[in-house]
Structure 1
Amino acid sequence: MNYHSYNKGHKVSFSYIVLTLIIIFLFIPLFVVVTYSFNSTKGMEWDHASLVWYEKLIFESPSLWAAFKNSLIIALTSSITATLLGTLASIGIKWYRFRGRSYITTISYLPMVLPEVIIGISMLIFFSAVKIRLGLFTIFVAHTTFNLPFVFMMVSARLDEFDFSTIEAARDLGANESQTLSKVIVPTILPAVLSGFLMCVTMSLEDFVITFFVSGPGSGTLPLYVYSMIRYGVSPVINALSFVMILGTMIIAFIFRRFLKTVAASS
């Protein structure tokens, strides 16, 4: 074995060690949350395994489920809207040439780089100026706004690799713009669109700062509900809900992963 092969093997083993440590660091908190969701008592002292917190989650937590429902409604509606608008905006900027195109592209990324506190305060001032009552609608608008750049970025990256000769071929075969869009462009960029949608759902479900500024009475989301519980002590019911959400996220991610592989293989 020469020096180069030894050095390569050494680097690979070191990379695996670093990767393993990072994975352990990321998953230890999830393991703790899942473990103590089965603890029969509150706190960090283990008594015995029990499903009492799951029973309380199902039958004795109406306010928590209301907050979770609000989060789910906002996440789905804002993600669908942001995905549609971001995809169309990306296609339009790549497809057409017009004055100010580069400036619009640059401005589109601002919500990604600005601190969430600034975005939240700006949204609050805007809604107050136009006299829009704070509630689910204002949360929907805010989440759609900060989700748009992520879809725009992911779809734009996919369009950078797009072979525009297929559009010319479609036009030569008599396809108009709408047919070219629906039958050529959209199927090709569909994995990026779905990835952007999943990113939006994740960003919306976990957002706290912006939602804190633009939420109103009766429109609290799950992060706001958990924050409000801190002053009284977080109940292990949150651990049970976290485990349910982790399982749901894993199942959805697995389904989408299989679907994206199928779409990529067919395209």
Structure 2
Amino acid sequence: MVKSALKKIYTAMIFTFLYAPIVVLIVFSFNSSKSRANWTGFTFDWYIQLFKDQQIMTSLYNTIMIALIASVCATIIGTLAAIGMQDMKKFTKAMVMNITYLPVLNPDIVTGISLMLLFIFANKQLGFFTMLLAHITINIPYVILSVLPKLKQLDVRVYDAALDLGATPMYAFRKVIIPQIAPGIFTGFLLAFTMSIDDFVISFFTTGSGVSNLSITIWSMARRGVNPKINALLSIMFASVILLLLIVNNRMSGDGGRKGKIK
């Protein structure tokens, strides 16, 4: 009984430590004053001013466009790479896997400066396109690591059976392989999208003047003091992520329930 109570208290403390700052941020996004210490009244003014701020809206557009394009490209490349790695010999596969882990383990500042030097060496002007290429590069390993476990669970005999029944390799790939590894592909896409939105260091080193995403804009605004518009922006981002997670969990639960009924 005591052990169970201690576990609950410990869990509550962990969640309080993690989410209390976010709750404070959301509460003060409705504060009528710019003060970060005193509550002076409830207002939606900061949210209204947020959508009137052209700099933030431009940064939001850049962030979403780069995140979407980079996630789609990284998901396609990463999925094909994972499928190719699955059939490699043990030593070759282990070597390629270690190389794949390097961008994940490598400090962001090293990756950011390396990519910046590469773009300068290739005579590419830093801007939207270079930031997009950088985001695709850093997201590919996360997609590979999400898809590989699903490929290990894949029953190759189903694919062989489809070929024996007259299906072409491409048709069998689309109708047999892809549906079975779809959860890993979707997870990799979500992870890539989240990493792209969250990234600051690599974006900072690979962008040029006049092009910035939300993380760079928030950093530049925070240097002049925390503007309540930042609180409003981060509150909306947090609510969007929570809504996305609820939709994904609801969909996965629904798929699991349908599979259970079929069985």
TM-score (norm 1): 0.91
What's the CA shift string for 1:209-261, capped at 9, x where partnerless?
11110010121111100111123212100111111112221222221222233
Equivalent of 2:146 in 137, 154, 159 = 154
What's the CA shift string for 1:107-145, capped at 9, x where partnerless?
112100110011001001100100011011111111111
Task: Specify the alignment match of 1:168 in structure 2.
Answer: 160
Equivalent of 1:52 in 29, 45, 62 = 45
Task: Specify the alignment match of 1:119 in structure 2.
Answer: 111
Instruction: Output the CA distance in 2 between the equivalents of 1:13 and 1:160.
Output: 40
- The answer to whether the aligner puts 1:104 opposite 2:99 as a matched pair is no
Contact 1:120 1:214 in 2 (8 A): yes
Offset at 1:159?
1.3
Task: Specify the alignment match of 1:246 in structure 2.
Answer: 238
Offset at 1:163?
1.8
**What does residue range 1-267 of structure 1 map to in structure 2 within 5 Å?**
9-43=1-35, 44-59=37-52, 61-95=53-87, 100-265=92-257
**Against the structure 1 CA distance between its residues 178 and 256, is the aligned structure 2 distance closer, same or farther, given a 3 Å change threshold?**
same
Identical columns (%): 35
**Against the structure 1 CA distance between its residues 260 and 232, is the aligned structure 2 distance closer, same or farther, given a 3 Å change threshold?**
same
Count the aligned residue pairs: 258
**Against the structure 1 CA distance between its residues 130 and 64, is the aligned structure 2 distance closer, same or farther, given a 3 Å change threshold?**
same
TM-score (norm 2): 0.92
Instruction: Output the CA distance in 2 between the equivalents of 1:259 and 1:110.
Output: 33
In the alignment, residue 27 of structure 2 is paired with which amino acid? T
Offset at 1:14?
3.0
Contact 1:191 1:264 in 2 (8 A): no
Which segment is superposed worse, 255-264 or 96-105?
Answer: 96-105
Instruction: Output the CA distance in 1 between the equivalents of 2:239 and 2:81.
Output: 34
In the alignment, residue 49 of structure 2 is paired with which amino acid? K
Q: Over aligned residue pairs, what C-alpha RMSD do you find?
A: 1.8
Offset at 1:73?
0.8
Instruction: Output the CA distance in 1 between the equivalents of 2:24 and 2:39.
Output: 12
Task: Specify the alignment match of 1:4 in structure 2.
Answer: none
Instruction: Output the CA distance in 2 between the equivalents of 1:65 and 1:19.
Output: 38
